[in-house]
Amino acid sequence: MNKSHLPNPLPSRLSRRGFIRTAALTAGASLLPASSLLAATAGLADQSGLPGIAPVGAGGIGGGKTPLVFGHRGASALRPEHTLASYAKAIADGADYIEPDLCSTKDGVLVARHEAFLSETTDVASRQEFAGRKTRKTIDGEPHEGWFVDDFTLAELKTLRAVERIPAYRPGSARYDGMFQVATFEEIIDFVAAEAAARGRIIGIVPELKHSTYFASVGLPLEDRFLSILDAHDYTRRNPVEIQSFEVANLKYLRGKLGRRANLRLMQLVIGQDVRPMDVAAAGGKLTFAQMCTPAGLRDIAQYADVVAPPTRSIIPLKKDGSLDAPSSFVDDAHRAGLRVEPWTFRPENQFLATDFRDGGSLQARNEAGSIAEMKRYIAVGLDGFFTDDPALGRAAVGS
């Protein structure tokens, strides 16, 4: 399921995600080694976070706190998405969280790709040794022809190199094509832990489980592999992790396994359309995203999740002329249900801005001032966090 809705001529898959603001605490905390942390927190029921820093969730729902800035696929407006370079740029630019979307390789390794389809974000089409892997698949209702993560072992995938998905809009990012490998989830956790130690501030991780129903159908279920990785790393056992999905059953499964911990949140991704989550459709259920976004549906989400993440336009919709309309009741409804609201995704090019924030340049042009102004308009409605392709602009929008 894609997360935001981009106008033609861009591929509909890009319309995906928005900004979800997820969290954990940023300001200048010094990190302690695990042994010191254990001593400092001995006897507490929950040992997450670091001494002197509040755990994720402190401050309550809609409490006027500074919204969290989520680096959407890293700093994907500036570096090829889901690469360590993209995550490094997001962290340097002040992201509170970085986002790895997780898919499974043929040999069951979780790697960061926005979707199973490899053709748009790697150089696989130019690799003659993999020409025979080209095929057709329908995943989450979307047909694709090309190459797919689950047809490659990790060793094979590591021979590929990442490329910019939309080079016409992001030529600066495209200059990095061919430089970076596909990263595993474990590599990303270690990288974030190293960055946190070097910078002296907590950096959260907001992973999304992609295509859970599809991967289960091909014998590569994600959830237990994901849980084992969280448990294997000290950083993710103690520090902020916010787990996202467009599906429902996997989040309920994870809640049952993880319980409620101060360093963990579960995020239900939604779209404002009358379509069913993939797991619901596969099971023959009738629940739709539109129903999930009603006050009653939001109360149901709050039984198993902590956060709801809609597309930005569900919060402030567009008029027919593409300018912003009046805010919907979504934020207030979600807060009344006890949910945080962390929408997706803000992008800095004119193409993706409401028309009242465009600067008269080409649709492909970056418009930093317009992006910051648009984010501020949304933040004023009461967001708890948001996803952005350019975390530096997100930081500017929240004023810190």
CATH assignment at residue 25: 3.20.20.190
- The verdict on residue 249 lying in a domain is yes
Confidence of residue 272 (pLDDT cuts 50, 70, 90): confident
- pLDDT band of residue 160 (cuts 50, 70, 90) is very high
Range of the structural domain that residue 285 is part of: 12-30+62-116+183-398
Q: What percent of the chain has pLDDT over 90?
A: 81
SS3 track for the chain: CCCCCCCCCCCHHHCCCECECCCCCCCCCCCCCHHHHHHHHCCCCCCCCCCCCCCCCCCCCCCCCCCEEEECCCCCCCCCCCCHHHHHHHHHCCCCEECCEEEECCCCCEEECCCCECCCCECHHHCHHHHHHCEEEEECCEEEEECEHHHCCHHHHCCCCECCCCCCCCHHHHCCCCCCCCCEHHHHHHHHHHHHHHHCCCCEECCEECCHHHHHHCCCCCHHHHHHHHHHCHHHHHCCEEEEECCCHHHHHHHHHHCCCCCEEEEEECCCCCCCCHHHHHCCCCCCHHHHCCHHHHHHHCCCCCEEECEHHHCCCECCCCCECCCCCHHHHHHHCCCEECCECECCEHHHCCHHHCCCCCCCCECHHHHHHHHHHHHCCCCCEEEECCHHHHHHHHCC
Mean pLDDT of 239-247: 97
Q: 69 in a domain, yes or no?
A: yes
Q: What is the spatial distance between Cα 310 and Cα 18, in angstroms, rounded to a whole number?
A: 8
Name the band, by pLDDT with cuts 50, 70 and 90, for residue 155: very high
**Nearest partner of 387 among 256, 244, 249, judged by Cα:** 244
Give pTM, 2 decimals.
0.87
Assess if residue 276 is contained within a domain: yes
Per-residue pLDDT tens digits for 181-220: 999 999 999 999 999 999 989 999 999 999 999 999 999 9
> pLDDT, tens digit, for every residue of 363-382?
999 999 999 999 999 999 99
Has residue 90 got a pLDDT over 70?
yes
Judge whether 49 lies within some domain. Answer: no
Which residue would you say has higher pLDDT here, 47 or 125?
A: 125
For residue 219, being part of any structural domain is answered with yes
Q: What is the mean pLDDT of the chain?
A: 87
**pLDDT given for residue 3 in this prediction:** 55
For residues 107-119, average pLDDT: 97
Instruction: Give the model's pLDDT for residue 96.
Output: 95
The mean pLDDT value for 16-32 works out to: 31
Residue 112 domain-assigned (yes or no): yes
pLDDT of 19 reads: 25
User: Within a domain: residue 124?
Assistant: no
pLDDT of residue 54: 46
Mean pLDDT calculated for residue range 143-161: 97
Decide if 297 is inside a domain: yes
Query: How many domains does the chain contain in total?
Result: 1
pLDDT band at 295 (very low <50, low <70, confident <90, very high): very high
Provide the pLDDT for residue 39: 32
